[in-house]
A and B are shown apart, each in its own frame.
Chain A
Amino acid sequence: MSNSVTQLKEGHSGRITHFTDDRIAGKLTAMGILPGSRVRVVRIAPFKGGYYLKVDGMSIVVRNDEASSIMTTTEVD
């Protein structure tokens, strides 16, 4: 079972399973965001704005569109 990052609440984490968009996946993997990485949603900007994510200790900002193509397993910590 996997959900997109946009379904995680602030402060929740998951492990990336795959990406649903090859173009975005190309850019994300180039920055070191890969299937298997642990991702935590640090903050969501208001009005469906950007996602501030922590991936394996790296802080990264993506837009709603990009975040919704990152699929994760849900794990609560």
Chain B
Amino acid sequence: MHKIALAGNPNSGKSSIFNQLTGLRQKVANFPGVTVEKKSGKLLMPDGEEVVLVDFPGAYSLYPNAEDERVVLNVLANPADGNFPDAIIYIADLTSLDKHFLLLTQIKDLGLPCVLALNMADTAEKEGIVADTARLAAFLQMPVVTVSGRTGANIEALKQTIPAILRSEKNTTLLYQPGVVEQAVLRQVQQKLGIENPYRALLVAHHVDKLPHLSAQEKATVAKICEAEGFQGLRLQIAETMRRYQIFTPVLQAAIQKKAETSTFSDQLDAVLTHRIFASVIFFGVMFLVFQAMFAWAAYPMDWIEAGFGLLAELLKSSLPAGWFTNLLTEGVLSGLGGIVVFVPQIAILFLLITILEEVGYMARAVFIFDKLMQQFGLNGRSVVALVSGGACAIPAIMSTRTIGNWKERLITILVTPLISCSARIPVYTVLIGFVVPSEQVFGVFNLQGLAFMGLYLMGIVAALGSAWVFKKILKSGEPSWLMMQLPPYRLPVWRNVWQTIWEKTSAFVLGAGKVILIASVILWGLATYGPSAKMEAAKLEATGIAEQKNLSPTDSADLVASYKIEASFAGHLGKFIEPVIRPLGFDWKIGIALITSFAAREVFVATMATIYSIGSTDDEATIHDRLSKARNPVTGVKIYTAATAASLLVFYVFALQCMSTLAVVRRETGSWKWPLVQFSFMGLMAYLGSWVTFLLLS
């Protein structure tokens, strides 16, 4: 099957075209060895042939500045790469075409069959830009089509060109004529490494240190050639870039008619949104609205989901014969599933809002506004995007750091992002906050519990910046730090892209994290239901005895029996085992069990508490809260959940890194277990000390 790659600059609207071409038939994976996302999809050609379309990361040139750009070079420099394309659809933004021609002419010189799609035809038309496609096609020796990823205009025409370019002869004429030194080097590299295309040989000489497909011996050979010929990579790279611009700029000037530059809508908007003083005020206002909207909108679907799962559990219980299998289904599997699905509204809404902010172009402005502040903490303006997305989920947030070019800044961003309270902490906060803060209105408008919620978020943000500052002092880096980023013009979001992103991220959560949560719930159910049989029997007898002695009502004695039984179960033993360690924090063995299981993922806490206290079918926070507030030591009658314990537990959840998936992603991003271990330890230490101090102060 033929492979076609979609290439172009960032902000060229590549993903819109990709979505138009493939629709929902997409697969998301990673490029081998890196976590740069690789999207692919199947495409049916007009002649009935099916081809694979791969979306390359956006890049400005084959001299990459960041890791995602590097992927494009790594693939195109190595014809043996599994992702090496048979042809390329090059997407360029018609409204600023000159900046898009550098990479295009480089790709053309690699001899790959190519079609040029001039995107944003709709916007260009409004701005009065007219392109002479015939002239461009004659210059580039490739088909040129104007398209619109937004409206879908001409997408069919673009498809029609593909069969022809797949059959076309290899084009071997170079647009860029290498200089004397370059010629000498590339000839020898071609010969020694057996590379057919001269420009590919030149790229190998430029990037010899960083190309992963070269063997150590090949690297040594190329390095020796470069040294012998006095090959000054950086100088030659700049000269090549300037020469290319000299070649294509006159052609573009002749082929593109443009009105004189006027103050655009984006400029006027930026006068306010990047204002020296108002910019940060507006940013915090926007973030406040985003999180406010997330809580407000998600409340309704969450109630429906909870009610639905409650009904389903009832239905199963009444229709299936009583026994361990029914219990496993309703109390293990179903409560686990409920615990996953109930988060979907929050996650989807948060991704909806963040994706809109990115699509519109606002996130790039936030990078500009906060770069200086972030630098003080050893971070980069681009870290803002990760920290904000961390409010939804640390996993995509950590993956978004690959646009940060400086390794130290990127590493610090990765290390501190999980301190930002993610959506998985919300249910834990919801259950516990009621113990610490009464639900009262203050100043007429604010809910006291709502303010406490905000306080927990702030605590996370302060902790993230504080530990970033510490890492900045500890970690050494000789690598220069820099920021160069294009601000795309403000545009209305392409809704198709927004839905696509939400669908992808949410299903990744349900399938990825969800699996873990489901398995943890089932294991936990088993641990809490079974135990050494002699001890289980003894516990039951003892509890019944006490109940008779104290003359308890039937419900009270049933509760007492359940409570004694879980204490005797395997889960109870496990919790008891770690109790001495967590006693100073005000936690008992029941909380201990929840801490252990919620290492799989924080949101398991609520499911665990539900299982431990009711062995029940509920995931509803209010019900669990109700149950916990009634929990007393059965013999002494002292309340277990005091404000001090709950506050201590809250602080623990703000700081602790209880998420296996995050650790796995950090390992993949940093390439070793060292950093996830460092991260787990420093966050764990902060959690333990923070909880301890909180408990001491409040009790």
Contacts and interface: CB of A to CB of B under 8 A. Distances in A.
Decide whether A and B are members of one complex.
yes
Interface string A30-66: 1110110000001101111110100011111111011
Interface stretch (B79-87, B447-455, B478-486, B510-518): B478-486
Contact of B234 (A26, A42, A52, A60): A26
Contacts of A56: 98-99
Contact of A32 (B102, B368, B369, B488): B102
Interface string B252-270: 0000000001000011001
A25 B238 contact: yes
B496 interface: no
B276 A27 contact: no
Contacts of B485: 60-61
A27 B371 contact: no
Contacts of B483: 50, 61-63, 66
Nearest to B100: A32
Given A29-B242, A30-B65, A42-B270, A61 B368 contact: yes
- Interface band, chain A: 20 to 34
Interface residues of B, number: 39
B242 A63 contact: no
B231 interface: no
A58 to B, nearest CB: 6
A22 B233 CA distance: 10
Nearest to A63: B483
Contacts, number: 107
Contact of B371 (A22, A29, A63): A63
A27 B234 CA distance: 10
B241 A30 contact: yes
Nearest to A46: B276
Contacts of B63: 26, 30
Nearest to A32: B99
B372 A27 contact: no
B381 A50 contact: yes
A8 interface: no
Contact of A45 (B234, B270, B371): B371
Contact of B274 (A24, A47, A52): A52
A44 to B, nearest CB: 8
A65 B371 CA distance: 13
A6 to B, nearest CB: 14
Nearest to A48: B372
Given A23-B234, A48-B372, A61 B270 contact: no
Contacts of A60: 484-487
A45 B381 CA distance: 12
Contacts of B238: 22, 25-26, 29
B477 interface: no
Given A22-B234, A32-B60, A43-B274, A58 B65 contact: no
B245 A52 contact: no
A57 B483 CA distance: 19
Contacts of B486: 31, 58-61
A52 B368 CA distance: 8
B484 A61 contact: yes
Given A43-B274, A59-B266, A50 B482 contact: no
Nearest to B274: A43
Given A25-B238, A57-B261, A31 B274 contact: no
B208 to A, nearest CB: 16
B519 to A, nearest CB: 45
Interface string B223-235: 0000000000011
B648 interface: no
Interface in B613-630: none
B372 A31 contact: no
Contacts of B241: 29-30, 34
A50 B235 contact: no
A53 to B, nearest CB: 10
A49 B371 contact: yes
Contacts of A57: 96, 261
A34 B372 contact: no
Between B64, B98, B102, B241, the greatest number of chain A beta carbons within 10 A of the residue's beta carbon is seen for B241
B634 interface: no
B489 interface: yes
B420 interface: no
B36 interface: no
Contacts of B65: 27, 30-31
A57 B429 CA distance: 48
A26 B482 CA distance: 13
A31 B482 CA distance: 14
A63 to B, nearest CB: 5
Contact of A50 (B102, B237, B372): B372
Interface in B328-367: 364, 367
Nearest to B266: A59
B234 A34 contact: no
Contacts of A65: 482
Contacts of A42: 267, 270, 274
B410 to A, nearest CB: 16
Given A45-B276, A62-B484, A34 B237 contact: no
Contacts of B74: none
B61 interface: yes
B375 to A, nearest CB: 8
B182 to A, nearest CB: 16
A25 B240 CA distance: 13
B178 to A, nearest CB: 17
Nearest to B405: A27
A35 B249 CA distance: 13
Interface of B: 60-61, 63-65, 96, 98-99, 102, 234-235, 237-238, 241-242, 245, 261, 266-267, 270, 274, 276-277, 364, 367-369, 371-372, 381, 480, 482-489
Interface of A: 22-32, 34-35, 42-43, 45-50, 52, 56-63, 65-66
Q: Considering the complex of A and B, which 9 residue pairs feature the smallest CB-CB distances, nearest first?
A: A49-B372, A59-B487, A32-B99, A30-B61, A29-B241, A61-B368, A50-B371, A22-B234, A61-B485
14 contacts: A30-B237, A31-B484, A32-B245, A34-B241, A34-B245, A35-B242, A42-B270, A50-B381, A52-B368, A52-B487, A61-B483, A62-B484, A63-B482, A66-B482
Given A59-B266, A61-B381, A61-B484, 6 more contacts: A23-B234, A27-B482, A32-B245, A50-B371, A52-B368, A66-B483
